[in-house]
Structure 1
Amino acid sequence: MESLIKKLSISHRNCPECPSPKVIHVFFENVLGLLFPDFATELMKEGDQIAEKIEELRHKLSRILIRNKHLHNGDGAEIANLFFQKLEHVYDLLIQDVQAMFDGDPAAKSTTEIIRCYPGFYAVAAYRIAHLLHTLGVDLIPRMITEFAHSKTGVDIHPGAKIGEKFCIDHGTGIVIGETTIIGKCVKIYQGVTLGALSVEKSDADKKRHPTIEDYVVIYAGATILGGNTVIGNHSTIGGNVWITKSVPSNSKIYYQAKMYNPASDETDTYIIKN
């Protein structure tokens, strides 16, 4: 027991100001409630109330960053200022995402339903807020935000991914979008899609490991697209349960990919149907 106490004591001393998951989750949900009153604990109908809330949250983020200088290379207060200066752009992107989800789902009766009920919206909102912090050079905290959303929605989006406007996630559960993924505008992804890496070697950490999805692409449920050199051309449709490790030209339709045993040749043949 004394040995365990000593080890834990060292661990706690080495992490005196680490932001707890609860602190970061509360901060994220407060920012989300600021942007979308559907998530707010109380409505702020006057401009000065919103200004006060922004200042409160800016101060909280500033304190977190100042106390955790190991998580960034800049000035904590300045990073917090920049975050809230750039937050309007995040809001505008999310409004476009909501509209894309509404337009792309005939079951949706209103944009309010998208915001309040759709896990895809929640996951994308967490990603866009986390991505802003990521672009400002903040470590760990963006991952804490997206992993919190992952635990609630089943959608795993790395904050380092680059995702364009009007991004639509339908259903959502099981989606994985890796760190170096690039997604263009007006892309729609269904449940169970993986945009992943071909290699998990640590030496490849600084390389582009995940695919590029160009504009106006639809990827149906269960599709797996791997590799940093893999590009899905614009206006392509990727069918369900396909496995892709090579680039696909623009305007392609990948309907089906399967491996089937051929008794005549005693080999496994791969069939890809494109149109």
Structure 2
Amino acid sequence: MSPKINNFDEIIKELSNPESYETVYHQPRHDQPMPSIEALEEIVSRLRAVLFPGYFGKSDVSPDTMAYHLGASLDKVASMLCEQIRRGHCFFCKLNGEGDCNDCDQQAKQLTERFIAKLPEIRRLLSTDVMAAFEGDPASVSPGETIFCYPSITALTHYRIAHALHELKVDLIPRIITEMAHSITGIDIHPGATIGEYFFIDHGTGVVIGETCIIGNHVRLYQGVTLGAKSFPKDEEGQLIKGIARHPIVEDEVILYSGATVLGRVTIGKGAVIGGNVWVTRDIPTGARVLQERAD
């Protein structure tokens, strides 16, 4: 039995006031539903089974049955992802301008095909990340352990899928996929960031990598590292200027220890080491070591 709520009609009237819901209400265009978190979770789960066969999904995959299992998973992924890409585009119809839904359908099919073609390269990159985790952590006993257990590999799997979609200019879906990993691992990687081979985040919790970051090869981060923006320039009307390069460039073979914060479009030179809890807002030369001053 529902409780009796005093002033119920007045509360509903207030909540129904357009001024109340203006910034929190989504009205679908063309009667299209929003992207489905549940569907995207299934898509990522199936993609993990494709990228790491035998580790996720069917456990009885053999070389003889590999093509069958991969084909079945990718056929389902293609169908589901095409629908979610179309929904993501429709979500921004008001911003992008109204178009022909037939065009949206065709565009979603083309983007899905182009994404599927990127999967061999995504797997190659992830295999380098797995080896970076195994070789970079003395506690790791096998590459398979990093695939199963390490939040770094979970976050990077989501990121590399999302980044491929972001490069194809897919609306909304890439950000949802990386935020799914953020919720699971505590690692926040924007899909727009560019990350090279053999990337390892040790422990991982609290790591933030901004949209316009460029990270080279063989880079290692520890927990709590922030690669963020120092300032947010505004236009003449006081609105934030979006899309400009505002996050760090981290060159090859850099190590950033726990709690390090690097802000702005600065460059951390090749082979540099940034110590724990150090605050960096300027370029760091190649091979430099930036550490806290030792207390007496």
* Unaligned residue ranges in structure 2 (runs of 5+): 1-11, 97-103, 234-238
| Maintained 8 Å contact 2:89/2:172 | no
Distance 1:257 1:85, change over 3 A: farther
Q: Partner of 2:35 in structure 1?
A: 19
Q: How far off its partner does 1:246 sit? A: 0.1
Which has the larger Rg?
2
Equivalent of 1:146 in 154, 174, 178? 178
The CA distance in 2 between the partners of 1:137 and 1:43, in whole Å, is 36
| Maintained 8 Å contact 2:88/2:172 | no
The CA distance in 1 between the partners of 2:240 and 2:27, in whole Å, is 31
Equivalent of 2:279 in 228, 237, 243? 243
RMSD: 2.2
Amino acid at match of 1:194: T
C-alpha deviations, 1:158-203, integer Å up to 9, x for none?
0000000110110000100000000000000000000000013453
Report the more deviating stretch, 44-53 or 131-140.
Answer: 44-53
The CA distance in 1 between the partners of 2:41 and 2:232, in whole Å, is 29
Secondary structure of the equivalent of 1:84? helix
TM-score w.r.t. the length of structure 1 is 0.86
The CA distance in 1 between the partners of 2:252 and 2:283, in whole Å, is 14
Paired residues for 1:1-275 under 5 Å: 1-2=12-13, 4=15, 11=26, 13=28, 16-36=32-52, 37-40=54-57, 43-45=60-62, 46=65, 47-70=67-90, 75-201=107-233, 202-228=239-265, 230-256=266-292
Secondary structure of the equivalent of 1:75? helix
Q: Partner of 1:270 in structure 2?
A: none
Amino acid at match of 1:16: Q
Report the more deviating stretch, 243-252 or 11-20.
Answer: 11-20
- Tell me the percent identity: 41
| Maintained 8 Å contact 1:44/1:50 | no
The CA distance in 2 between the partners of 1:98 and 1:180, in whole Å, is 24
Amino acid at match of 2:248: P
* Unaligned residue ranges in structure 1 (runs of 5+): 261-275
* Equivalent residue pairs, number: 257
Q: How far off its partner does 1:43 sit? A: 4.3
| Maintained 8 Å contact 2:155/2:185 | yes
Q: How far off its partner does 1:68 sit? A: 4.1
Amino acid at match of 2:76: E
Secondary structure of the equivalent of 1:203? coil
Q: Partner of 1:265 in structure 2?
A: none
Q: How far off its partner does 1:24 sit? A: 1.4
Amino acid at match of 2:288: S
Q: How far off its partner does 1:55 sit? A: 1.4
Amino acid at match of 1:51: G
